[in-house]
Structure 1
Amino acid sequence: MKNRFVKVRLLFILVISLLLSSFAYSGGLDNANYIKIASFNIQIFGQNKIKNSEVMKIISKIVKRYDLVAIQEVRSREENIIPALLNYVNDANTKYDYVISKRLGRTGSKEQYAFVYNTKTVHLIPNSSFVVKDTKDVFEREPFVASFKSGNFDFTIVDNHIKPADVEAELKHLKAVIDNIYDSSSEKDVIVVGDMNADGSYFNENKLAIIFPEWRQMIGNTEDTTVGTANNTYDRMMTRDTTAKVEYTGKSEAFRWDSEYGVTNYVLIKKVSDHYPVYAEFRIDLADDD
């Protein structure tokens, strides 16, 4: 009788295990079915920041949560900022790489964009990165574009840092730019990210839906992406409705790393950045649709 009870119990455990495995394979639990893409304005990411090991450990911990991170506000004449970050990120089991723009801006205080990505899950399409040509000089910092592939999901990502004083003009020009990228390429999965300063005193965020009617806002107007007492959605992620209905899982938010990591020292928090990273998840196990 006892042996029979043991056999029934083992059979029950086996059935439950198989059901859980099946659920995981269907996308319910298996991380291999999706990737996380993030956007992070790392405020004045320059020499002072990379010399602060406490700050760099936090930034690297944040980066390692994601398969790809679009970074804004790399600010240094030297080319050692992202390599310094990867020295903290990479180890025996982790290999991130990066592609970076040239220095951009009209003044002496120029910035670079960078895409940092996990080489195990994301692959850069060779020769795909470029800075948008801005012959009319509308942008303070022209958007940076690159294409990647992860599993069955290939996509183009457009990184931006919109000038606070010219938000509406730059956003309208950005709309023309991303529509052109979408229309002129066979790749229809286009993801637009960055610090767009599209809120607060700079911009009426309700106009976003008017300027970008065909683009799904993955970071909604109620999401606070800033550190401090203000409640503003400066950092944005959007994609065309076609991608939003298929690859986008519906999960996206600002990552409040200070709460997650138990950091209460406000001075330290501000040394990391005055922005929280934002991210969205995308399916990579579906048939390629473009």
Structure 2
Amino acid sequence: MWRLLLFWALFVPHTLGLQICSFNVQSFGESKRDKPAVMNIVRKVISRCDITLLMEIKDSSDTVIRSLMTQLNSQSETRNQFDLTISQRLGRKSYKEQYGFIYRKKLVSVRGTYQYEDSQPGDPDAFSREPYVVWFEAPSTDVREFVIVPQHTTPEAAVREIDELYDVYLDVKQKWNSENFIFMGDLNAGCAYVPKKAWGNIRLRTHSEFVWLIGDKEDTTVKASTKCAYDRIVMAGDKLLSSVVPGSAQVFDFMAVYGLTEDQALEVSDHFPVEVQLKESKRPTSRRRKHIERK
């Protein structure tokens, strides 16, 4: 499997629409910023994608994420430049994280952002880190627009938080005129955190409009000693689902692709990214894929 990933990552040009990725970079702060080899791998992973959700951003000054953006854009030609939208610092107590979306601005733009308030009557404060919801416009794809709802669950509360994403879905549908939804992130949706018997209590799983693109048997963890499908991509919306490139939803094993040892990979993260591609539109547009080069 890793040989196939290596082939696709290094030799096959990404020409089919928009590549969307989710990556828990694990404690992304000053210690990682000060390790050039680690930052180089993070940059390479993000450069493969047109939209990347980053989780566990833990720098209150925003200097680390800004440093990453500088590195990304200094390695890219003008037509390949990236932009960023980032949440406030989120967390119940002193421990805080941010969600960040890095996107290739020649291909997508942000139509709107919404910090979910998590204050429903009778069920307040369901999330440790409330979703920072982003509505993207993507003229180069068949679907044209879609909403991404990110989530990094608290492991011990994973079942409740994944289920509560259904309430976020209803709330955002009422707020914005979109039927196209992508839920993605480190949901901790596997192993002991979401046992088999718990799936029946998760509306994002039991309601038929939601399709889970990363299966329960996948392994999104770096350590050889674990095999858990923590990181997921879930979609809703017929038009969005029909625009997915068949077979493109997968785990990106950066350890194998970039020839790292397990210890080297763990310096980057204990999670592998997950990703999916959307089909390129056949309609003429000034943002055609042929003008974009991924590194």
Please indicate the TM-score interval, normalised by the length of the shorter structure.
0.7 to 0.9
* Alignment equivalent of 1:226, drawn from 221, 229, 236: 221
Aligned equivalent of 1:282, options 278, 284, 289: 278
Structure 1: which amino acid aligns with 2:249? Answer: S
Q: Within the alignment, does 1:77 sit opposite 2:60 as a pair?
A: yes
**What's 1:138 paired with?**
126
- Name whichever of 75-84 and 98-107 sits farther off: 75-84
Measure how far apart 1:206 and its partner are: 6.8
Secondary structure of the corresponding residue to residue 249 of structure 1: coil
Match in the other structure for 1:64 = 47
Question: Aligned partners of 2:18, 2:199: CA distance in 1, in Å?
Answer: 26
Instruction: Note the C-alpha offset of 1:188.
Output: 1.1
TM-score of the pair, normalised by structure 1: 0.83
Matched, 1:119 2:105: yes
Deviations 1:27-46 (A, max 9, x none): xx985541110000000001
* C-alpha contact (below 8 Å) 1:36/1:279 kept by paired residues: yes
- 1:258 alignment counterpart: 255
Q: What is the CA deviation profile of residues 186-208 of structure 1, one whole-angstrom value per residue up to 9, with x for unaligned ones?
A: 21111110100011111125754
Runs of 4+ in 1 over 4 A off after TM superposition: 29-33, 205-210
The within-5 A match list for 1:66-105 is 66-91=49-74, 92-93=76-77, 94-105=80-91
**Paired residue for 2:287?**
none
- Within the alignment, does 1:197 sit opposite 2:192 as a pair? no
Q: Distance in 1 between matches of 2:48 and 2:241?
A: 24
Letter aligned with residue 149 of structure 1: E
- The 1:86–1:187 alpha-carbon spacing in structure 2 relative to 1, beyond 3 Å, is same
Aligned counterparts, 1:39-50, within 5 A? 39-50=22-33
1:33–1:285 CA contact under 8 A, matched in 2: no
Which sections of structure 1, spanning at least 5 residues, go unmatched?
A: 1-28
**Which amino acid is 1:240 matched to?**
A
Secondary structure of 2:60's match?
coil
Aligned position for 2:160: 169
Structure number with greater CO (CA < 8 Å, separation at least 6) is: 2
Aligned equivalents of 1:141, 1:57: Cα separation in 2: 28
What is the rounded CA distance, in whole Å, between the counterparts of 2:70 and 2:255 in structure 1?
A: 22
Q: For residue 185 of structure 1, report the CA deviation from its aligned partner.
A: 2.8
Identity %: 30
Choose the corresponding residue for 2:35, options 42, 45, 52. Answer: 52
Q: Which amino acid is 1:178 matched to?
A: Y
Q: TM-score, normalised by structure 2?
A: 0.82
Q: Deviations over 1:93-114 (max 9, x none)?
A: 1311100000000121100000
Measured after TM superposition, the shift of residue 167 of structure 1 is 1.2
- Kindly indicate whether the alpha-carbon contact (under 8 Å) linking 1:216 and 1:244 is maintained by their aligned counterparts in 2: no
Is the CA contact (8 Å cut-off) linking 1:101 and 1:130 kept in structure 2? no
Aligned residue in 1 for 2:235: 239
Which is greater in Rg?
A: 1
Partner letter of residue 41 of structure 2?
I
Equivalent in 103, 109, 117 of residue 95 of structure 2: 109
Aligned-partner residue type, residue 96 of structure 2: K
Question: Structure 1's 267 and 33: CA in aligned 2 closer, same or farther, altered over 3 A?
Answer: closer
The residue identity in structure 2 corresponding to 1:107 is K
Partner of 1:148: 136
Structure 2 residue ranges without an equivalent (≥5): 1-11, 284-295
2:81 partner amino acid = K
179, 184, 205: which is aligned to 1:188? 179
- How far apart are 1:267 and its partner, in Å? 2.2
